[in-house]
Amino acid sequence: MQRPGQPERRTPASPQEQAAHEIDAIRQESLTGRQLRMARRVAQKHGMAPASDFDAVRLLRQRGIDPFQRSTLLELVVPDQEEVTQKPSEKEPRVQLPQTVPPPGETLPSTEVNPADWRNRQISEIQQDIARRRKRKIRMLVARLAAFVFLPTLLAGWYFFAVATPMYATKSEFLILQADGQSGAGASGLLSGNQVATSADSIAVQSYLQSTEAMLRLDSDLGFKSHFSQPFIDPIQRLSDDSTNEEAYRTYQKSVKVGYDPTEGVLRMEVIAADPEVSTSYSEKLIGYAEERVNSLSQQKRGDQMADAEESFRNADEERRAAQEALVNLQLQGATLDPEAVIASLRAQITQIELQILEKELQLAALLDNARPNQSRVDGARGDIRRLNDQLNELNTRMTDASQGENSLAQLSVRIQMAQADLATRDMLLQSALQQMEQTRLEANRQVRYLTISVKPVTPQEASYPRSFENTLLAFLIFAGIYLMVSLTSSILREQVTS
């Protein structure tokens, strides 16, 4: 029995109650799920069999092991070499905490440190570390941008605003037109602006004006190299005194720009030089070169077309002349110029004599019908018949000679008729060739090209280049784009390597 006034004597708690009390205290520490899972892993590594994650924390603290210490977490990944080589039976308990001379029975960490404050302090340190890293990265980014973007842009702007030599641009426009000749109009054809018909010539002229040949011709006429080698031009745009044709041609490509608009058929040319008068003279000289090239192109086309037509006409004329000479030679082979007329005359004479013979035979028959015919008249009639027969025989002989044999008049007549037909055919071919040549001449006149200047070159009064602000902005965009591409590429490669 307890006496009144005496303090109440507490019975010692059982191990189960003490364990439950410690687990409740651990629950109030607001440990995260990751910390509890890590405590269970550490407890299992040390051969413990905790009933729960909180029990694992309690058992580890009883052993004097801090489950949330960094070295303890690393041991989960990299085991100690001695533990790997040592047999399980030879393992000794590992001391995890600094070992002072603890009082007997005190193996747990001090309860004076609040876990929430410790966790907040760690979070604050992590945040400060992240902020320091962010500031350092921002400083590095600004330094890289300044080195690779802002500084090159500043140098480019300084060049465009202060160093670059002012350049004067002379602009001009011209068209290549085709002569549309009408029938009977001859050279008084109208100009036609058909872009399809002159597009090939326009492209050819554009290529010629942008070629090395035009540059060399301009240099020999007006001194292109000497103009861009003058000392007042800035070093980037200036040519050296002993520059090659390739170097001068690169400068020529930048100074002479020719564009062709296929929808309108207009050639637009811009000539840039350090002096406005020189720029205008260059433009006028190049337009003269283009006009000469257009004339040479149309003359070549006309020459090719007319050459074929004239060759056909000459061949037809020679063949007609040969046929005519053959006919004349055949006519000169015989005694007469017209064998057909001779044969027809012989035929008419034979017919006439045959009629006279028939008439005399009728007269002789009438005389013989009398009882006492007049002998003298009968003898005269018979003599006439004999003479007519002799004449008829002679004519038949001549007719036979004229119509038989290789050299007869009939054969000669046939050959003459064939020669006349051949001559008529050659006359038709000659006439056709003549018409074709005239038509080709008209078509060649329609193929003539003309260069018409729509906008004449005018001497500029203000410099057109350099465009300082636009060029500086373009340089900034170029440098920024290059930096962005390089940085993205390096980031992707670094990620691929470290993954």
Q: Exposed (0-12), middle (13-18) or buried (19+): which is 40, by Cβ within 10 Å? A: buried
Strand partners of residue 169: 272
Residue 40: per-residue pLDDT:
85
90 falls within a domain: no
Tell me the backbone φ, ψ of residue 474, rounded to 5 degrees: -65, -40
Asked whether the predicted pLDDT for residue 303 surpasses 50, the reply is yes
% of the chain beyond a pLDDT of 90:
33
Work out the number of other CB atoms within 10 angstroms of the CB of residue 197: 17
Asked whether residue 408 falls in the same domain as residue 459, the answer is no
Q: Exposed (0-12), middle (13-18) or buried (19+): which is 465, by Cβ within 10 Å? A: middle
Q: How many domains does the chain have?
A: 4
Asked whether the predicted pLDDT for residue 97 surpasses 90, the reply is no
Tell me 3's DSSP state: P
**∠328-332-336 over CA atoms, to 5°?**
120
67 falls within a domain: yes
293 falls within a domain: yes
Whats the size of the chain, residue-wise?
Answer: 499
E strand segments, 181-320: 190-192, 256-261, 266-273
Asked whether the predicted pLDDT for residue 274 surpasses 60, the reply is yes
Q: List alpha helices for 334-408, DSSP H.
A: 339-368, 375-403
pLDDT digits (tens, 9 = 90+) for 35-83: 888 888 888 888 888 888 888 888 888 888 887 775 555 455 444 444 4
- 83 Cα distance to chain centroid: 73
259 falls within a domain: yes
Label residue 331 by pLDDT band (50, 70, 90). Answer: low
Asked whether residue 213 falls in the same domain as residue 340, the answer is no
Tell me the backbone φ, ψ of residue 453, rounded to 5 degrees: -85, 115
Q: Yes or no: say if 353 and 392 are a contact pair by the CB < 8 Å rule.
A: yes
2 falls within a domain: no
Helix (H) or strand (E) segment spanning residue 175: strand 168-180
Asked whether residue 478 falls in the same domain as residue 428, the answer is no
Asked whether residue 461 falls in the same domain as residue 479, the answer is no
Asked whether residue 304 falls in the same domain as residue 207, the answer is yes
Asked whether residue 189 falls in the same domain as residue 249, the answer is yes
CA dist., res. 327 & res. 165, Å (int)? 85
Residue with tokens 């533990």: 83
341 falls within a domain: yes
Asked whether residue 121 falls in the same domain as residue 211, the answer is no
137 falls within a domain: yes
pLDDT digits (tens, 9 = 90+) for 386-418: 888 888 888 777 666 655 544 556 666 667 777
Residue 43: per-residue pLDDT:
86
pLDDT digits (tens, 9 = 90+) for 224-253: 999 999 999 999 999 998 889 999 999 999
485 falls within a domain: yes
CA dist., res. 68 & res. 35, Å (int)? 7
What is the chain's mean pLDDT, rounded? 79
Asked whether residue 461 falls in the same domain as residue 475, the answer is no
Residue 113: per-residue pLDDT:
56
Residue 496: per-residue pLDDT:
85
Asked whether residue 182 falls in the same domain as residue 67, the answer is no
Secondary structure class of 103 (helix, strand, coil):
coil
pLDDT digits (tens, 9 = 90+) for 469-491: 999 999 999 999 999 999 999 98
Which residue segment(s) compose the domain that 284 sits in? 168-309+450-465
Asked whether residue 396 falls in the same domain as residue 481, the answer is no
CA dist., res. 141 & res. 491, Å (int)? 13
Asked whether residue 250 falls in the same domain as residue 346, the answer is no
Asked whether residue 48 falls in the same domain as residue 150, the answer is no
